[in-house]
Amino acid sequence: MAINVNIRQASPNVGAFVEGVDLADEMDAGTVSQLREALGAHGVLFFRDQNLTPDQHIAAAERFGQIDINRFFAHVDGFEKIAEVRKEPEQKANIGGGWHTDHTYDQIPAMGSMLLARETPKLGGDTLFASMFAAYDTLSDGLKATIEKLNAVHSSRHVFGKKARYKDRGEDLGGRLMNPELAQQDAVHPVVIRHPISGKKVIYVNPGFTLRFEGMTDQESQPLLQTLYAHCQNQAFVYRFQWAPGSIAFWDNRATWHYAVNDYQGERRLMHRITVEGEAVAA
């Protein structure tokens, strides 16, 4: 039976709240495609009060594609498909505490991630989402034309590898990240891609995983990358989502960046993340 889904925009440029859906329930194909369209239109969908078991969380994500098992995050015990995004009261560094898009280092990057809040701090621990549709749309025609000719190199090595930058910063992510020897992925993608669902153009570089433009050194690439990054963080393109246990954010990695705010020292935050496979991205 078709259900009555209400989709309410969270902000002018990014995010929408989905009401009337219990992700633990069966879902007809029409509702799945309505949610997929909404994801394409808004970049991230928010659901409240989804107290799913791990199996229900997996089943909810599998409606949108195969699960992409993350090789670097610790898993929830007994559930390899669910990555744990955790910070204990005594830990200082968080996971995802900088602007990024998941898995751009893969040749075939992940479509999206479905993050479910299990334990949240009393205050803080929000996640910011930025629209890469809006960021592209508001560039000058000259800069659009310049970046549309470029490809960029993305890598997992400096984030998850044996020489990851967080180690140089002295951050302790012990027990939360694993398999540094598997961080060997590099991928080249167009700097501007056509979004696979909406067909709109989006900026597809991010401060977390992009190293340089193809054919240039890291250093030569920095001025233009930093110009783009400063533009993409414009507050007009950003929505700040406040979590509660049972909240879900389901974001499209091809349309958004995200940033986990680390402002809850001394408290625990525990999230379960499932990543859904995508397709090759193209200009």
- Residue 110 CA to residue 117 CA, distance in Å, equals 20
Q: Does 256 bind ligand SIN (CB under 6 A)?
A: no
Active site (annotated) includes residue 102? yes
Task: Mark residues 119-138: x for contact with ligand SIN by CB under 6 A, - for none.
Answer: --------x-----------
In the Cβ-directed half-sphere of 96, how many Cα atoms lie within 13 Å? Answer: 26
Active site (annotated) includes residue 154? no
Of the ranges 19-27, 94-102, 156-164, 223-231, which one interacts with ligand SIN (CB under 6 A)? Answer: 94-102
- Residue 245 CA to residue 243 CA, distance in Å, equals 7
Dihedral angle, C-alpha 43, 57, 96, 219, nearest 10 °: -60
- Residue 210 CA to residue 65 CA, distance in Å, equals 25
Total chain residues near ligand SIN (CB under 6 A): 11
The pair of three-digit structure tokens given for residue 179, joined into one six-digit string? 């398999």
- Cβ at position 205, least distance to ligand SIN in Å: 17
Residue from 136, 276, 257 nearest 207 by CA: 257
Q: Which of 15, 40, 96, 161 binds ligand SIN (CB under 6 A)?
A: 96
In the Cβ-directed half-sphere of 176, how many Cα atoms lie within 13 Å? Answer: 20
Q: Does 189 bind ligand SIN (CB under 6 A)?
A: no
The pair of three-digit structure tokens given for residue 129, joined into one six-digit string? 């989402």
- Cβ at position 273, least distance to ligand SIN in Å: 5
| In contact, 129 and 17? CB cutoff 8 Å | no
Residue closer to ligand SIN, measured from CB, 125 or 190? 125
Dihedral angle, C-alpha 207, 209, 213, 216, nearest 10 °: 100
Number of residues that this document lists for the chain: 283
- Cβ at position 204, least distance to ligand SIN in Å: 17
Active site (annotated) includes residue 8? no
Active site (annotated) includes residue 258? yes
- Residue 5 CA to residue 31 CA, distance in Å, equals 8
- Cβ at position 144, least distance to ligand SIN in Å: 28
Of the ranges 6-14, 39-47, 95-103, 222-230, which one interacts with ligand SIN (CB under 6 A)? Answer: 95-103
Find the catalytic residue in 68, 102, 106, 252. Answer: 102
Q: Does 85 bind ligand SIN (CB under 6 A)?
A: yes
Binding site for ligand SIN (CB under 6 A): 85, 95-96, 102, 113, 115, 127, 258, 260, 271, 273
| Catalytic residue ranges | 100, 102, 258, 273
